[in-house]
Structure 1
């Protein structure tokens, strides 16, 4: 029997009881040992937590392309498909963008405002963000490799979305669960969600028992031998 009825309940439990390292531990036991994106990807504020279904977005650099001479209307279009990708966000989805260099920002304040209106869960970009003060004021969970004010307008285009993408050599499919906090960002394949989060919830609740035992003086070896958790 599942410990949750739907995504909303699962994500609420995750916010209240879980953290990324714990879910990562369970994924390790499942043989999924390469699910954390690069440690360079950090939240704009340390207390930001993101969890939701992936809205995958593929961006590419265009700064060396003569846009006025290009025959592809997508490349000549401002920001490519970025507006369509952003406007298609649904409740509890995470804007997951990769493919760009670090020479410009892939996420910012106005994008955060639109995403919040659509009830999206957050943004995780394999690139830079800008408008840090605005993102902090909004409190919208945003993760990137760092702040850089340079605009993507003349430098990058979104060329596809709702497609499989490669984020730091991790395959991300639309609908995979993204879970991030200050310690890292995890990609949990859709097929692994039930097992991974069930195990993580059970371990989190078991760790409370271990914590109480340690506080009462039990040694770490005895605690591990007794509860199998550490």
Structure 2
């Protein structure tokens, strides 16, 4: 769960002072070179940013909402464990879901409304959302592969949550730090987050010096040799 006291300054630095490009560059230099989610996962509205702890959710396709012949523990439960996963969101957490095919929406207006009540930080879906206009009006930070109204009900279920997941080879553990803006969604490993954010803030300060030097006529080659960034 989130310790809001210890996370408050960290989240504020990411939200107010940083962007994913510089944080991703720092993680590259730290040896974490596969931390961006696929490019297709982006903000529902371009000005949305997301910062929070991963509350991981595992989806699976089904071919009927309630099976009369299935032997699994979720056979008779529409949506599987989705309600439990949603209700388990803690303040500052991000609902991040994967595992389904791209044939239905994984998130909508009512889920956003519940997440807002729980003070969640946003949602990241390896799939589609619906009720897009309503979610935008709520201002709930939502990142997804696009918009598609087809319902999850008879097509998919949540089969587990707070379990490690992967999205195209990027591993996400419960509690990992998620940072997203219009240029992508970054998974910052929990053990590296404070060093990464500190180094990213230093890099931003250096880049500001580089920009000033270039405006005054310094060449790109000289700027890189002088400051080590470009």
Scaled to the shorter chain, the TM-score interval is over 0.9
1:218 Cα offset (Å): 1.8
Structure 1 partner of 2:8: 8
1:192 Cα offset (Å): 1.4
Matches within 5 A, 1:191-210: 191-210=191-210
Q: Secondary structure at the match of 1:60?
A: strand
In the alignment, the residues of structure 2 paired with residue 6 and residue 32 of structure 1 have an alpha-carbon distance, to the nearest angstrom, of 23
In the alignment, the residues of structure 1 paired with residue 80 and residue 93 of structure 2 have an alpha-carbon distance, to the nearest angstrom, of 21
TM-score by length of 1: 0.94
1:148 Cα offset (Å): 0.5
1:6 Cα offset (Å): 2.2
User: Which residues of structure 1 form unaligned runs of 5+?
Assistant: none
Contact 1:75 1:157 in 2 (8 A): no
1:15 Cα offset (Å): 1.2
Structure 1 partner of 2:38: 38
User: Which residues of structure 2 form unaligned runs of 5+?
Assistant: none
Contact 1:95 1:124 in 2 (8 A): yes
1:199 Cα offset (Å): 1.1
Calculate the aligned-residue CA RMSD, in Å. Answer: 1.4
Contact 1:223 1:229 in 2 (8 A): yes
In the alignment, the residues of structure 1 paired with residue 16 and residue 7 of structure 2 have an alpha-carbon distance, to the nearest angstrom, of 14
Contact 2:61 2:101 in 1 (8 A): yes
**Aligned: 1:162 with 2:162:** yes
* Over 4 Å off, 4+ runs: none
In the alignment, the residues of structure 1 paired with residue 161 and residue 44 of structure 2 have an alpha-carbon distance, to the nearest angstrom, of 24
Structure 2 partner of 1:216: 216
- The alignment covers a number of residue pairs equal to 226
1:66 Cα offset (Å): 6.8
1:65 Cα offset (Å): 8.2
C-alpha deviations, 1:14-69, integer Å up to 9, x for none? 11111111111011111111111111111101111111110000010001687121
In the alignment, the residues of structure 1 paired with residue 141 and residue 29 of structure 2 have an alpha-carbon distance, to the nearest angstrom, of 28
Matches within 5 A, 1:38-187: 38-63=38-63, 67-187=67-187
Contact 1:177 1:193 in 2 (8 A): yes
Shift in CA distance, 90/65, structure 1 to aligned 2, threshold 3 Å: closer
Shift in CA distance, 110/66, structure 1 to aligned 2, threshold 3 Å: closer
In the alignment, the residues of structure 1 paired with residue 78 and residue 167 of structure 2 have an alpha-carbon distance, to the nearest angstrom, of 24
C-alpha deviations, 1:111-130, integer Å up to 9, x for none? 11111111111110111111
Contact 1:172 1:187 in 2 (8 A): yes
In the alignment, the residues of structure 1 paired with residue 75 and residue 144 of structure 2 have an alpha-carbon distance, to the nearest angstrom, of 24
1:162 Cα offset (Å): 0.4
